[in-house]
Amino acid sequence: MSLAEKTRPVTRRFAVPLQVLLLWAAPLVFLVVFFFQPLWTIFRLAFQTGLAEGLTAGDWLRVWRPLGFTFWQAGLSTLLTLLVGLPAAYLFSRFVFPGKQLLRVVVTLPFILPTVVVAAGFNALLGPRGWVNLGLMALFDLSSPPVQMMNTLGAILLAHVFYNTSVIIRVVSTAWSQLDVRLENAARVLGASPLRAFFEVTFPLLRPAIFSAALLVFLFDFTSFGVILLLGGPAYRTIEVEIYIQALQMLNLPLAGLLSAIQLAATLVLTWIYSRISGGQQVPLIPRLKGEGQRRPKGWKEKLLAAGMVAVLAVLLVSPLAAMSLRSVTRLDAERGQRSEVQRGLTLDYYRELFVNRRESLFYVPPIEAARNSLQYAGATVLISVTLGVLASYALNRHSGVNKVLEPLFMLPLGASAVTLGLGFILVFNHPPLDVRTFPWLLPIAHSLVALPFVVRSVQPALAAVPERLREAAKVLGAPGWRVWLEVDLPILSRAVLVSGIFAFTISLGEFGATSFLARPEYPTMPVAIYRFLSQPGALNYGQALAMSTLLMLVCAASILLIERIRLPGISEL
């Protein structure tokens, strides 16, 4: 730093350029009104009821039991996810094998699937009417399902591993594949065994990426809602589920507010730790050509490892989705009084029944309308989140001290609970003109808060990669500012913006936590409609839930395939 810079007044050194303020204006107003205001209302309600009025011993028991279980299941789920994800990250970063690109798409798909779809998939595979139980009952002539997996802790843990293995693979394999392999080779030349070279050379370099990925998985498991609600049953309540029950079923908003405040404080601490770890991540990466440093497995040990991991990933990630898809086109009707008589056959009846109101319910909403609602909300979410995300990305790429404060604040929605957010919206926006009962834009606004960090993580690296000399050359040639952006920035940013838009679209399409609070009964989204089918008895409702889940899964799969085809190198995975 020069002497002039050292002696410059402190106020001027930290002065915020007007251009940066203008870029931050809309995103900050959006966050203050629709994120911080609902959260502040929850904190205030929790303070007034929890401290001023006091809570009974039973109330505190309803606070600490779900909080303790939330930490327990999140920690155990994270450990199991690491056990599966780290060997898979090694496989993707070091080896080339047939079907690798397809497998990469498959392991990414669970991360963006709605929780109701995942619950339907595990029900179709391991539920009382799932393929595993049906096969065992037919094979051993049993009268009841032998595998009791649903409504257990095992189902919760299995679903969390299913969901978050892709996080470990994406974050760790990206860093692993770009490590300088000469460091590990030098250790081997000096006589270190492969295991010792890993623990003394590779692991210390990968430790920041592993800790960052593990903390992110813990954060997702800590705020898990749909998995616990749909697969855990009434015996297992995380703090998210308890908030939902107290607010919507018990109508106990004060206790729900206190639970939300405690849960929010914990997630904010976790988000801050994650930002510090990921922001200070210092892994010596070297640029590589595509495929450099990767090879085909050699020897029986490497081949066995590759084949075993591919098999594990296929069974863990593919079988629930395949079971759901197959079950949605298969009729298994047991005749009355004759358990062993089962008529099996392929059918599209469940898809046709989606458009028939057999019970003539007054609350029936055709699934095509639920799909239309979801698409409309998703389109509005893309418009809001991409617009604000691009503005925030431009602001973050400006050299200003204020960015060091605003960037972590802007990432806070990544760790915020969708259930807490939905409750905050109900408490704040309950009168015109912003009323959850009459203002339909509140739902895509809530979805945009969830999608916004992903948009910034996709657009900002691409924006930082735009060569400044291209802009300067365009200005020298006489191009005005708007044409510089149109001719230089936009062609480079277009793919990143498209990727972020697809992310926002799929996030909105499958969001269930906030939607369960804010969606009006006559305007359900597809996840809400699936949940209604799953919560009602009868084989027909179950089949319709699987059919709609399969359709939603296909849309998500098409989205992730498109993302993989247009993703730019250097775009952050998460």
Higher pLDDT, 385 or 150: 385
pLDDT, the chain, mean: 77
pLDDT tens for each residue of 452-497 = 888 887 787 777 777 777 777 777 777 777 777 777 777 777 777 8
Fold of 55-327: MetI-like fold (1.10.3720)
pLDDT at 383 over 90: yes
Q: Which amino acid is at 494?
A: S
pLDDT at 56 over 60: yes
pLDDT at 342 over 90: no
In whole angstroms, what is the distance from residue 451 CA to residue 460 CA? Answer: 14
Are the beta carbons of 28 and 409 closer than 8 angstroms?
no
Are the beta carbons of 156 and 232 closer than 8 angstroms?
yes
pLDDT at 438 over 80: no
pLDDT tens for each residue of 141-167 = 888 888 888 888 888 999 999 988 988
CA distances from 298 to 33, 93, 292, 293, 379 (A): 57, 15, 17, 14, 48
CA 561 to chain centre: 17
Higher pLDDT, 164 or 572: 164
In whole angstroms, what is the distance from residue 356 CA to residue 366 CA? Answer: 8
Which secondary structure element, helix H or strand E, spans residue 57, and what is its range?
helix 57-94
Query: Mean of the pLDDT values across residues 306-334?
Result: 84
Domain 16-42+356-574 indexed as CATH 1.10.3720.10 = yes
Indicate if 55-327 has the same CATH topology as 16-42+356-574. Answer: yes
pLDDT tens for each residue of 268-302 = 777 777 766 665 544 444 445 455 566 778 878 77
The domain spans of the chain are 16-42+356-574, 55-327
pLDDT tens for each residue of 519-545 = 777 778 888 888 887 777 777 788 888
What's the pTM value of the predicted model, to 2 decimals? 0.77
